[in-house]
Amino acid sequence: MNVSVLANTLIGSEIIKIGNEVNELKSKGANIANLTIGDFDPSIFPVPSALKEEIVKAYHQNHTNYPPADGILALRETIVDVLKDRYDLDYKATEILVSGGSRPLIYATYLALIDPGDKVVYPAPSWNNNHYCHLSSANGVAVETTAETNFMPTAALLKPHIKGATLLALCSPLNPTGTMFTTAQLEEICDMVIEENKTRAEGEKPLYIMYDQIYSLLTFGKEHINPVSLRPELKDYTIYIDGISKCLAATGVRVGWGFGPAQVIAKMKALLTHIGAWAPKAEQVAVAHYFGDKNLVDQFLTSFKEQVQLSLDALYNGFQEMKADGLAVDAIVPMGAIYLTLKIDYLGKTTPSGDLIKDSTDLNSYLINEAQAALVPFSCFGTDEHTPWFRASVGGCSLEGITEMIPRIKSALSKLK
């Protein structure tokens, strides 16, 4: 096709391919437990009703013109207060940038920091860093993690790759695993970045951290930690990604924010101005009011997290029971986000119709067809496709749907020889 090399070489979303497979079966009447997309079914997980009312009110008040390029001041001031109150972080309104969900901020972070060929280091599995590397012509280095560290990267794993790198992309709670950094793990990574930056010459770009904490308010009994709270000197080098998409089940409302060093944020703002990736003004006005009311937000979070955790626990317990019954499966205790890490160790087996399950994609298709259960193999997040690990997202499936799915998975796996 006569389009740019960039457009021609875009990597299609593997998750959307699985979604299409699910939709095709659904259109034939199959009742699939869809644990694929990192989204919420609004009939199961609606946005807070008070937020919805604020959005409607803001439209009635005619907040329908362009918002300021960095976001309305009232929202940035609310964020300043939230950062202080919830994370003990001191940021000024000028160090915050609002956009239409958090994706544009990730893209802007890459564009603001990366020159073609610059090295970006990120863990695999992780979400979409390969795509942002492609879009920014970065030299992406995916560092594979293992179950031994709950699939979180460690300083020891990252160290061989950070010499000369421009960006280290981190996320906790992590999509796709639902696992989180321990304090010791993140401290060691922070110290490694500080040490690396001491070796950089005057005028050379430092090693920056992009810290995606979009799931930070969705944790289950574990404390969320972040680089600047642990090591304040990292403030000049850390760009945070955050927003309401996940913590308020508001993926379609499109309000995200980033914060970091004022000069980097100013460049990200300039880049996003040309893209026009602002959050709609009425939504900004609504979130400024709603998110500033800590009691309301906490009330919502308490019941929302309880509901998410019930689903994650049901899935986790179901897999532990299958394991106890002798099936080659496992699961990692849910810590945060809306995801569970599942091990389904059946690669190399043969289906009743004689097909070899050669990789995790084959096993996923088998489970979709045979157990009406749709997961996402970790290979969609950058790991080798011969590893038997999968992401289950509970946002699009009812608790009942999850409970009913477990015996179907058990029966399907028992048929593999």
Ligand X SMILES: Cc1ncc(COP(=O)(O)O)c(C=O)c1O
Task: Provide the binding-site residues for ligand X, judged by CB under 6 A.
Answer: 38, 101-103, 127, 171, 175, 212, 214, 243, 245, 251, 256
Q: Nearest Cα to 272, choosing from 109, 122, 78, 408?
A: 109
**Which residue's entry shows tokens 């609504």?**
286
Smaller CB separation from ligand X, 374 or 416: 374
CA–CA dist 88, 114 (Å, integer): 29
Structure tokens at 173: 């709670």
Q: Are 252 and 52 in contact (CB under 8 A)?
A: no
Residue type, 360: S
395 within 8 A of 350, measured Cβ to Cβ: no
In the bound complex, what is the minimum distance in angstroms from residue 11's beta carbon to ligand X? 16
By beta-carbon proximity to ligand X, the closer residue of 381 and 389 is 381
Is the bond preceding residue 48 a cis peptide, omega within 30 degrees?
no
Nearer CB in complex with ligand X: 63/103: 103
CA distance 409 to 228: 43
Q: What is the DSSP string of 158-214?
A: HGGG-TT-SEEEEESSPTTT-----HHHHHHHHHHHHHHHHTSPTTS---EEEEE-T
Preceding omega of 123 cis (within 30 degrees of 0): no
Shorter beta-carbon distance to ligand X: residue 44 or 194? 44
Burial of 311 by CB count in 10 Å (0-12 exposed, 13-18 middle, 19+ buried)? buried
Residue 70 or 212 with smaller CB distance to ligand X:
212
Q: How far is the CB of 111 from ligand X (least distance, A)?
A: 16
User: Cβ(409)–Cβ(372) under 8 Å?
Assistant: no
Q: How far is the CB of 126 from ligand X (least distance, A)?
A: 8
| Minimum separation from the CB atom of position 72 to ligand X (A) | 18
* Closest approach of ligand X to the CB of residue 404, in Å: 26
For ligand X, the nearest residue by Cβ is 101
Q: Which is nearer to ligand X, 205 or 222 (CB)?
A: 222
Q: Are 390 and 378 in contact (CB under 8 A)?
A: yes
Counted residue by residue, the chain has a size of 417
Q: Output the smallest distance, CB 179 to ligand X, in A.
A: 13
Residue closer to ligand X by CB (options 39, 345) is 39
Between 36 and 309, CB nearer to ligand X:
36
Looking at residue 73, the DSSP 8-state letter turns out to be H
Q: How far is the CB of 246 from ligand X (least distance, A)?
A: 7
Nearest-approach distance from CB 196 to ligand X, in angstroms: 24
Cβ nearer to ligand X, comparing 37 with 405: 37
> Which residue's structure tokens are 């309104």?
93
CA distance 56 to 67: 17
- Report the nearest approach of ligand X to the CB of residue 185 (Å): 18
Give phi and psi for 124, each to the nearest 5: -125, 125
